[in-house]
Amino acid sequence: MRLTVVSARLSIPSSTRLLADRLTEAVREQLADDGRYIEIRVIELRDPALDIVDNLATGFPLPALTQAIEAVTSADGMIAVTPIFAGSYSGLFKSLFDVIDDGALPGKAVWPLRPALMAIDRVSPSTCPLPRPPPPAA
């Protein structure tokens, strides 16, 4: 199973990244207990931030952003964590999902989170439809 973790943290250290790391470890431990291997890829949106903005302006992703998009779209599941600014998810976080092709995420298990509440929350129906997480394998 491939899991992509998207962290929209801007500061170091960050409660956003701490939450992402704790959730990732919990998922890894649960799958290990079930005898399943998980490949984890972490995307820090700080790294391809300029590439995301460039793609919004040009419509063409640069190589680092192409790799991040591939990690998101090829994953079996995703943990997406964003800080909250003025009561909403970060613009950088939304912009990543804006540059991903429509239809690339339906059917993916996505758990978007915001550390302000430490709870599962919706990103937005317009950015990515959120299916229920798949049931555990028998």
Higher pLDDT, 131 or 15: 15
Q: What is the pLDDT of residue 121?
A: 40
Of residues 85, 93, 8, 88, the one with CA closest to residue 42: 8
Q: What is the pLDDT of residue 113?
A: 56
Give per-residue pLDDT as tens, 32-84.
888 888 899 999 988 898 999 999 999 999 999 999 999 999 988 888 888 87
> What is the rounded CA–CA span in Å between residue 106 and residue 96?
16
Q: Which CATH number applies to 2-120? A: 3.40.50.360
Q: What is the pLDDT of residue 66?
A: 93
Residue type, 28: R
- In the chain, where are the structural domains located? 2-120
Q: What is the pLDDT of residue 28?
A: 87
CB 5, CB 15: distance < 8 Å: no
Record the pTM. 0.73
CB 62, CB 54: distance < 8 Å: yes
Q: What is the pLDDT of residue 126?
A: 38
Q: What is the pLDDT of residue 69?
A: 93
CB 92, CB 50: distance < 8 Å: no
Give per-residue pLDDT as tens, 100-116.
888 887 777 665 555 54
Tokens of 75: 């994953």
Residue type, 93: F
